[in-house]
Amino acid sequence: MKGIWALFDFRGVPEYLPDLLKGAAITIEMTFTVMAISLVLGLIVALARVTRLRPVRAAATFYVEVMRGTPCLLQLFYIYFVLPAFGIRLAAFTAGVIGLTVNYAAYMSEVYRAGIQAVAKGQLEAAQALGMSRSLMMRLIILPQAIRIIVPPLGNHFISLFKDTSLASIVTVKELIFAGQIIAATNFQYFTIFTLIGAIYLMISYPGSLGVQYLERRMKIGYRPRRGAAPAGGPTRGAPQGAVS
Amino acid sequence: MIRLEKINKSFGRLRVLRDVSLEVQRGEVVCVIGPSGAGKSTLLRCINHLEGIDSGTIYIEGTPVYRFTRDGRPMVDPDHRIEELRSQVGMVFQSFNLFPHFTALENIMMAPIHVRRESRDDVRRRALALLVKVGLSDKVHAYPHELSGGQQQRVAIARALAMQPKAMLFDEVTSALDPELIGEVLRVMRQLAAEGMTMVVVTHEMGFARDVADRVIFMADGVVVEEGSPQQMFSAPKNDRTRQFLQSILERNAELGDEAATPPSEPRP
């Protein structure tokens, strides 16, 4: 045990720890920003991919294939280094957010699409037989059920996005990894700093993955009503609130 | 009320319906029987356009559901028309298809509120009355997974009725049920028939067909083989295939120990 501890050098930690925490804050901020935007954008792309309008469908498919088929790193390079040639100059954080968002939105859209298509066919037929239009069906019947299906995979993407924000260091976003690199380059305490960074990542992502597991369990239980809910029962979890009550 | 003229429908090479014509009068109960694969369910699904047809015309109250394009293929009228027609014809499925994320009451209220844009209070009152009618006034706030198959199917019937349809289509609605739950669903259907609802019922419940139907249609291999009053169809079928089919059903029921073709759980009115 002593051998391992001898590798650590905790001198200077009080000086650079705030910088690391600032980096962690940027990582978290970036994760939530990208997640929020790609959840919305992903849904739009997913709906575009199941629409009956062929050109819209083709465009959405093209987008997804390009984003999935090229490295996220390249997309970040493109946004940060190539766009300025066309007069679009973005701050590092913005470039990082856009780069990760266009990528993650593509993956999210696939998750949504899988969820939409996993809703039983009988549900669509029942909705159609009641005279519902496609949009009504999507909003009231399909999406609320699809969301229950996709919460676990979305959670996993969320955690992997949290780690993938480190890619933004390449376009000089001072997130956790980049902040650590800067410090290590001056005091050469690579072992200590990178281990510390690993610990910080774990401290954030482990509770996150526990959260995902919890959600997964809850989703599996099925449609358990909330006892003592609103008089009409109230559409629970995932259902559009106030759809009927 | 419902009129089908020379309906043809194929799934790939398989011709499921061949020149099927059928007319259902207002208030009439028509039972469609026949071996599986005869096209009974497809026929029903074509009536409210869950399946498109290849040729022929379907009229609901004299309004054609299709218009024809230049090359003579039937085309759906602009979509909202189809939806309007669908909302006038209720359908109940073999697999219930209740919306699992809504309670029984919400399942029933959904379409009148969002499709018809009726006032929530009116719909709620009507939905509660329908739940009483199908004997589920104590299950108002239950979710589908908390209900037995028979209860779910009764909610599904109430859901279709909530749209105040002019006709109801029943697609083997008791086939997925445990035997002891069949009776409660048939009872609701008998009551509907007695109230004068126009019904087209695809069924394997010969007892129900014999007691309730005004007319029985026997289908096989995509054609209407024979039709007639239940008395005539069950006691003196003219066609060999009809006779064979009914014979095999009677034998099966005899094996199961059922008397005649009526499930024992169902009380005779």
pLDDT at A189: 87
Percentage of chain B lying above the pLDDT 90 cut: 65
Average pLDDT score, chain A: 86
Nearest to A233 among B83, B90, B141 (CB): B141
List residues of A whose CB lies inside 8 A of any B CB.
Answer: 120, 122-123, 125-133, 136, 140-141, 144-145, 148, 222-225, 229, 232-233, 235-239, 243-245
- Residue A120 maps to a domain: yes
- Residue A243 maps to a domain: no
Rounded distance, CA A68 to CA A146, Å? 22
Q: Determine which of B106, B107, B143, B173 to mutate to test the interface with A (most A C-beta atoms within 10 Å).
A: B106
pLDDT band at A237 (very low <50, low <70, confident <90, very high): very low
Per the structure block, which two tokens stand in for B139? 């299950």
pLDDT at B22: 92
> For the residues A92-100, what does the mean pLDDT come to?
94
> For the residues B244-265, what does the mean pLDDT come to?
69
Spell out the residues 6+ positions from residue B195 whose beta carbon is closer than 8 angstroms to its own. Answer: none
pLDDT at B107: 96
End-to-end distance of chain A based on CA atoms, in angstroms?
A: 62
Residue pair B74/B54 in contact by the 8 Å Cβ criterion: yes
pLDDT at B5: 87
Q: Determine which of B101, B126, B164 to mutate to test the interface with A (most A C-beta atoms within 10 Å).
A: B101
- Residue A19 maps to a domain: yes
pLDDT at B74: 59
pLDDT band at B181 (very low <50, low <70, confident <90, very high): very high
> For the residues B3-22, what does the mean pLDDT come to?
90
Nearest to B114 among A128, A140, A144 (CB): A140
Structure confidence by residue, pLDDT tens digits, A20-49: 999 999 999 999 999 999 999 999 999 999
Percentage of chain A lying above the pLDDT 70 cut: 89
Judged by DSSP in three states, A1 sits in: coil
Residue pair B182/B265 in contact by the 8 Å Cβ criterion: yes
Q: How many CB pairs under 8 A join A and B?
A: 107
List residues of B whose CB lies inside 8 A of any A CB.
Answer: 48, 50, 79-80, 83-84, 86-91, 93, 95, 97-103, 105-106, 109-111, 113-115, 120, 124, 140-146, 156, 159-160, 163
Residue pair B162/B129 in contact by the 8 Å Cβ criterion: no
Total number of domains in chain A: 1
Average pLDDT score, chain B: 87
- Residue A236 maps to a domain: no
Domain extent at residue A205: 2-221
Per the structure block, which two tokens stand in for A188? 């050469």
pLDDT at A14: 84
pLDDT at B71: 59
Domain harbouring A61, CATH code: 1.10.3720.10
Distance from the Cα of B88 to chain A's closest Cα (Å) equals: 8
> For the residues B109-115, what does the mean pLDDT come to?
94
> Which chain B residues are Cβ-neighbours of A130 within 8 angstroms?
86-87, 110-111, 115, 159-160, 163
- Per the model's pLDDT, the better-predicted residue between A219 and B113 turns out to be B113
> Is B102 within 8 Å of A239 when comparing Cβ atoms?
yes
Ramachandran quadrant class, A99 (left: phi over 0; alpha: psi -120 to 50; beta: rest)? alpha
- Residue A244 maps to a domain: no
- Per the model's pLDDT, the better-predicted residue between A187 and B139 turns out to be B139
Q: Specify the residue for token string 């599996």.
A: A220
pLDDT band at B217 (very low <50, low <70, confident <90, very high): very high
Rounded distance, CA B174 to CA A14, Å? 73
C-beta atoms surrounding A113 within 10 Å: 22
Distance from the Cα of A226 to chain B's closest Cα (Å) equals: 10
ipTM of the complex: 0.86
> For the residues A101-106, what does the mean pLDDT come to?
95
Percentage of chain A lying above the pLDDT 90 cut: 64
Per the structure block, which two tokens stand in for B114? 């969002």
> Which chain B residues are Cβ-neighbours of A222 within 8 angstroms?
100, 145
The CA angle B123-B126-B130, to the nearest 5 degrees, is 135
Structure confidence by residue, pLDDT tens digits, A115-160: 999 999 999 999 999 999 889 999 999 999 998 889 888 988 999 9
User: Does A226 score more than 50 pLDDT?
Assistant: no
Kindly tell me the number of DSSP H helices and DSSP E strands found in chain B. 9, 12
Judged by DSSP in three states, B16 sits in: strand
Structure confidence by residue, pLDDT tens digits, B221-246: 999 999 999 999 998 899 999 999 99
- Residue A36 maps to a domain: yes
Residue pair A238/A147 in contact by the 8 Å Cβ criterion: yes
Please give the residue of chain B at the shortest CA–CA distance from A235: B102
User: Does A229 score more than 50 pLDDT?
Assistant: no
- Residue A173 maps to a domain: yes
User: Does A233 score more than 60 pLDDT?
Assistant: no
> For the residues A65-70, what does the mean pLDDT come to?
94
Distance from the Cα of A133 to chain B's closest Cα (Å) equals: 7
pLDDT band at B265 (very low <50, low <70, confident <90, very high): very low
> For the residues B124-152, what does the mean pLDDT come to?
95
Rounded distance, CA A142 to CA A119, Å? 6
Structure confidence by residue, pLDDT tens digits, B31-74: 999 998 889 999 999 988 888 888 888 888 877 766 555 555 65
- Residue A58 maps to a domain: yes
C-beta atoms surrounding A127 within 10 Å: 24
> Is B91 within 8 Å of A129 when comparing Cβ atoms?
yes
User: Does B137 score more than 80 pLDDT?
Assistant: yes
Give the DSSP H or E segment for A77: helix A72-77
Within 13 Å of residue B184, how many CA atoms lie on the same side as its CB? 17
Looking only at the bridges linking them, the beta strands covering B63-64 and B55-60 are antiparallel
Distance from the Cα of B99 to chain A's closest Cα (Å) equals: 7
Looking only at the bridges linking them, the beta strands covering B223-228 and B74-76 are unpaired
User: Does A236 score more than 90 pLDDT?
Assistant: no
Give chain B's domains with CATH numbers: 2-254 (3.40.50.300)
Distance from the Cα of A124 to chain B's closest Cα (Å) equals: 9
The pTM (predicted TM-score) of the whole model is: 0.81
Residue pair B79/B140 in contact by the 8 Å Cβ criterion: no
Please give the residue of chain A at the shortest CA–CA distance from B123: A244
pLDDT band at A234 (very low <50, low <70, confident <90, very high): very low
Distance from the Cα of A46 to chain B's closest Cα (Å) equals: 22
